[in-house]
Amino acid sequence: MPCAQLKIRVIPRAQRTGWGGRRGDALVVRLQAAPVKGSANQALLDFLRRELDLPASALEIAHGERGRDKLLRVQGLSQKELEQRLPH
């Protein structure tokens, strides 16, 4: 089964949840959720699952669970397939 990686920079407590462009090689995601007790991480995973049309089991945070810079593992997609689903 293919597996891709995705670098994300999270901006919590934003006015609304959505894409925020790019910062270096990471995609920026703005989240309304506060970084308290994992709620921002859950909001990030929910947002990405909806936006990328992925099942719940396909996404996991590989690194950065407690920071703003995260590395996500995406099961079931190649790196090329993932790039095609991301905003440009």
CATH fold for domain 3-85: Conserved Hypothetical Protein Mth637; Chain: A; (3.30.1200)
Sign of the four-CA dihedral 73, 53, 19, 83: positive
pLDDT at 1: 76
Q: What is the largest CA-CA distance in the chain?
A: 37
Give how far Cα 11 sits from Cα of 27, 50, 75, 84, 85, Å: 11, 18, 24, 23, 21
pLDDT at 87: 86
- Rounded to whole angstroms, the Cα distance separating 50 from 13 reads 20
* Rounded mean pLDDT for each run of 10 residues along the chain, 88 residues in total: 94 97 96 95 97 94 97 96 90
Per the CB < 8 A criterion, the answer to whether 46 and 64 are in contact is no
pLDDT at 32: 98
pLDDT at 46: 97
Residue spans per domain, the chain: 3-85
